Amino acid sequence: MAQFNEAGEYLTRQQAGAAPVASQGRDRLRANLRTVLTYVILTIFLLVAIGPLLIIALAAFKTSDEIAGNIFGLPAVWSLANFAEAWSQARFDAYFRSSVIVVVPVVIVSCFLSILTGFAFGQMRFAGSAVLFPLFLIGIMVPGEAVIIPIYYNLRQMNLIDTYWAMILPDIAFSVSFGTLWMRGFFSTVPRELVDAATVDGSTSWQTLWRILVPNAIPAVLTMGILFFIWTWNDFLLPLVVVSRDDLRTLPLGLTFFQGRYSSDLPLLAAGATMVALPTIVVYVLMQRHFIRGLTSGAVK
């Protein structure tokens, strides 16, 4: 069968066979160029994102003279003196302890309650579920700044101001609001036949949840826990309002007061900022595989 080119000229059999090969070569070249361009753009955004973090981290190892001379250069001597001074003299050890005391119960209790409420709204049918679920979502729809004053007065009436409970309880409430939506999205994708089969085998709802569903929901639960950790660790407004004692301040709040006292000591400020940001970075790096799996699995289906 005769073949013609775009100009209408007759092509020999050899020329006709070479045309698809040339077309495939051009398509492959365009695909490679798109890939290279994508990686170039992503690299630029990566540098923009982590560039300030690297500058601050490097400044934590320098002296004031080195920062004034070349803020982008490497330190002449890699010393942890700034970190040691910030940890001891600037009371970052107390701030770190307060952050851990607040974050650990918030993450554990919030994950536990979110699993229960997510399972209830995702798999169980009960009276009032259509009304209760939107009530849980109020914690997401209403910004924390709008309710921080009522929270303060409620905590003051319960004599919880200037205690760890004043930071733990509200953070749990806000976290469970999101966690309910998150885990309901996962549990609602679980085939109903799986739950029915477990029920036929004699499993109670509690056993079905913890022995069958939760092991399959590990990526979603870990992702939710990482989000709770990051949000609670970086929380600033709530500790600022409900805590005035220096020994109860968390790291972000302590860093603010620390900045006011040591505004002229840039290496010390950089060391403090690095210590505040480092735990969240380490947690994400260690758990990023589970975090991505949780985002791309049943939690968002």
> Terminus-to-terminus CA distance in the chain, angstroms?
51
Question: Closest by alpha carbon to 250, among 100, 98, 103?
Answer: 98
10 is a domain residue: yes
Count structural domains, the chain: 2
Distance CA 289, CA 99 (A): 25
Residues 55 and 110 in one domain: no
Residues 54 and 104 in one domain: no
Residues 162 and 245 in one domain: yes
Residues 48 and 134 in one domain: no
Contact between residue 242 and residue 161 where contact means Cβ atoms under 8 Å apart:
yes
pTM: predicted TM-score of the whole model, two decimal places? 0.78
Token readout for 34 is 């798109």
Residues 144 and 207 in one domain: yes
80 is a domain residue: no
Domain stops at, among 16, 44, 59? 59
DSSP state at residue 248 = G
Residues 95 and 55 in one domain: no
Residues 167 and 207 in one domain: yes
Please state, in angstroms and as integers, the Cα–Cα distance from residue 122 to each residue in 4, 184, 188, 213, 245, following that order.
Answer: 61, 5, 4, 12, 42
User: What is the residue range of 277's domain?
Assistant: 89-300
CATH code assigned at 268:
1.10.3720.10
64 is a domain residue: no
Residues 130 and 29 in one domain: no
Summarised one tens digit per residue, pLDDT across range 83-133 is: 888 887 778 888 999 999 999 999 999 999 999 999 988 887 777 777 888
Residues 32 and 135 in one domain: no
Residues sharing a CB contact under 8 Å with residue 214, sequence separation 6 or more, in sequence order: 115, 221
- Per-residue model confidence as pLDDT tens for the chain (301 residues): 444 444 445 555 555 555 565 667 777 888 888 889 999 998 898 888 888 888 888 888 888 888 877 777 788 888 888 888 888 777 888 899 999 999 999 999 999 999 999 998 888 777 777 788 888 888 788 888 888 999 999 999 999 999 999 999 999 999 999 999 898 888 888 887 888 888 888 888 888 888 888 888 888 898 899 999 999 999 999 999 999 888 899 998 888 887 767 666 788 888 888 888 888 888 888 877 766 666 665 444 4
